[in-house]
Amino acid sequence: MKKTKLLITTAIDYTNDVIHIGHAYQKVLSDCLARYYRHTFGPEKVYFLTGTDEHGSTNEKAAKARNILPLDHVTEISAKDKEQLDALNLSYNRFIRTTNEDHKKIAQDFMQKSFDNGDIYLGKYEGLYCEGCESYKTLSELNDDGQCLLHPTRQIQKIEEENYFFRWSKYVDFLKDLLSEHGFVYPEGKRKEMLALVTQGLEDLPVSRPKYKVSWGIDVPFDHEHVIYVWFDALINYYTAGVQNGFWDDETEIIHVLGKDNAKWHAVLWPAMLKSAGYRLPDTVYVHGFINLDGEKISKSRGNVIRPTELTEKFGVDPVRYYFLKQGPIVEDVNISLDQFREVYNADLANGLGNTVARLAKLAEKSGETLNICMPAQEVWTETWSDSFKEFRVDLVLQGVWAKLSEIDKHINDNEPWSIKDKAKLKEVLEFEITKLMEVAVILEPFMPATSEKIVSQFETGKVIAETPLFPRIS
């Protein structure tokens, strides 16, 4: 069946601390994709979801340390996260919280279906637990010092408790077949990594915590002495928002965008959960790499955390979006720095796009002519760039757009409109060049929405007035 709608989601952020630029990257990428697909599917046919993951022991302990209720703690962090995302001009349709009442009910219904299908049973867990990840660990997932690879400063807990288990091992063959399909997990290297993980075998997973140890969670529907394990709860948020808004049906293409630390849960656990409950699967799980700052992992303990608002206040919203979409960890980890940010800003935006816009605006204003500017046809979305967007290569789209900018600059230099005396000829040259610029501006909308709107509004009437530079140079 041809898909006529799109649900695109980010991972929801855990409310142990306010998000930083590493978390924000996938939100900007997802927003770019959502904005693009609104041009191809139609604005009402795309649903973009993001939000916060609010249950679990870490939040409970953080609230206790502050002498406040867990709900007050997560509400505060969730609001601050939303401020960070709003600073990046994200066009999400819903900011979901796992403490929302509709999600709590649907999470319970989901778990009940899995239980009724014989896939959840009571057992005893003895093993290792990383509170930073809020996940159970095997020895292979720890470093040589016996600590979590993602949270090496945290002490691994040895726990022994009664839990309800999910029969993950039952779905090994199903997951092998699913992960053998090219396209379910992007990029290809991550698909192979997830397939290898399943091929090694899966152990049944605890999906509850006893209330005497962790009370901050959603009650297990068939045993109120337990709460739903935070990962089992969190993944269901996608289904909560999708099914309630008509975006979890066979007509919808479902894409999950997330970082590599969450790959196992989304590519291996989530499909098994959906299969168990009897719901349809997502179409694609896209896994991006990490952003490192000046060669180091971004972390609170290192003191190198940068919030999105810090960057947008310094460089502007669209330059931040452009930088991450051009330089971001599309396939592998990337290293960024503020010095590199300044270089890219000045080269690509101040001296590149901004300079081209300023040149044409001054030439058009000086000509005194009312120009006939043609807006790009719809085919610019459905044909020219579709393959790159479908493969999540937004960086390649930007390369193509900047190649078009170079062609416009070359045309300006070759034709020297400032020296053309014939008004009809000058009008013809400027109309051609500005029409090409409008194509660039329209294609930039998913990447730099405010900049795109400014360029279009400056030139679309044909009576052009030169304005202040889009991107003043910075030192």
Same domain for 173 and 69? yes
Same domain for 20 and 121? yes
Tell me, yes or no, whether 29 lies in a domain.
yes
Cβ atoms of 325 and 395 closer than 8 Å: yes
Cβ atoms of 51 and 95 closer than 8 Å: yes
- What is the pTM (predicted TM-score) of this model? 0.92
Contacting residues for 269 by C-beta, under 8 A, at least 6 apart: 168, 205, 231, 235
CA–CA distance, 179 with 17 (Å, rounded to integer):
33
- Predicted pLDDT of residue 148: 65
- Predicted pLDDT of residue 135: 62
Q: What are phi and psi of 48, to 5 degrees?
A: -110, 120
Same domain for 263 and 341? no
CA–CA distance, 255 with 109 (Å, rounded to integer):
23
Handedness of CA 239, 240, 245, 246 (dihedral sign): positive
Tell me, yes or no, whether 260 lies in a domain.
yes
Scanning the structure block, which residue is given the tokens 């030439």? 363
CATH number at residue 107: 3.40.50.620
Same domain for 81 and 177? yes
* Interstrand relation of 120-130 and 157-166 (parallel, antiparallel or unpaired): antiparallel
Active-site residue 374, yes or no? no
Same domain for 255 and 359? no
Same domain for 282 and 403? no
- Predicted pLDDT of residue 173: 97
Tell me, yes or no, whether 316 lies in a domain.
no
Catalytic hit among 27, 39, 55, 148: 148
Catalytic hit among 5, 55, 73, 133: 133
Same domain for 293 and 341? no
- Predicted pLDDT of residue 144: 58
Catalytic hit among 151, 170, 390, 411: 151
Active-site residue 148, yes or no? yes
Active-site residue 103, yes or no? no
Active-site residue 23, yes or no? yes
Please count the structural domains in the chain: 2
Q: What are phi and psi of 236, to 5 degrees?
A: -70, -15
Q: Residue 216 sits in which domain range?
A: 5-297
Same domain for 431 and 293? no
Same domain for 228 and 363? no
Active-site residue 32, yes or no? no
Q: Residue 458 has what DSSP assignment?
A: H
- Predicted pLDDT of residue 183: 87
CATH number at residue 372: 1.10.730.10
Same domain for 357 and 259? no
Active-site residue 297, yes or no? yes
Tell me the helix, strand and coil percentages in the chain, rounded to 5: 50, 15, 30
CB atoms within 10 A of CB 154: 15
Q: Which residues pair with 226 in a beta bridge?
A: 210
- Predicted pLDDT of residue 211: 95
- Predicted pLDDT of residue 218: 98
Tell me, yes or no, whether 384 lies in a domain.
yes
Among 353, 344, 334, 326, which residue's Cα sits nearest to residue 32?
Answer: 326
Same domain for 370 and 279? no
Tell me, yes or no, whether 180 lies in a domain.
yes
Same domain for 10 and 120? yes
Tell me, yes or no, whether 134 lies in a domain.
yes
Tell me, yes or no, whether 108 lies in a domain.
yes
Among 137, 135, 129, 134, which residue's Cα sits nearest to residue 160?
Answer: 129
Q: Mind listing the pLDDT tens digit of every residue in the chain (475 residues)?
A: 789 999 999 999 999 889 999 999 999 999 999 999 999 999 999 999 999 999 998 899 899 999 999 999 999 999 999 999 999 999 999 999 999 999 999 999 999 999 999 999 999 977 677 665 666 656 556 665 566 656 566 666 776 789 999 999 999 999 999 999 888 999 999 999 999 999 999 999 999 999 999 999 999 999 999 999 999 999 999 999 999 999 999 999 999 999 999 999 999 999 999 999 999 999 999 999 999 988 888 876 677 889 999 999 999 999 999 999 999 998 889 999 999 999 999 999 999 999 999 999 999 999 998 999 888 877 777 767 888 999 999 999 999 999 999 999 999 999 999 999 999 999 999 999 999 999 999 999 999 999 999 999 999 898 988 889 999 999 8
Catalytic hit among 130, 256, 264, 427: 130
CA–CA distance, 383 with 324 (Å, rounded to integer):
25
Catalytic hit among 300, 366, 410, 463: 300
225: left (phi over 0), alpha (psi -120 to 50) or beta: alpha
Tell me, yes or no, whether 328 lies in a domain.
no
Catalytic hit among 20, 137, 266, 275: 20
Cβ atoms of 401 and 356 closer than 8 Å: no
Active-site residue 133, yes or no? yes
Q: What are phi and psi of 69, to 5 degrees?
A: -70, 145
CA–CA distance, 454 with 459 (Å, rounded to integer):
9
Catalytic hit among 61, 297, 314, 326: 297
Tens of pLDDT, residue by residue over 189-218, are 999 999 999 999 999 999 999 999 999 999
Q: Residue 170 has what DSSP assignment?
A: G
Among 237, 286, 452, 245, which residue's Cα sits nearest to residue 357?
Answer: 452
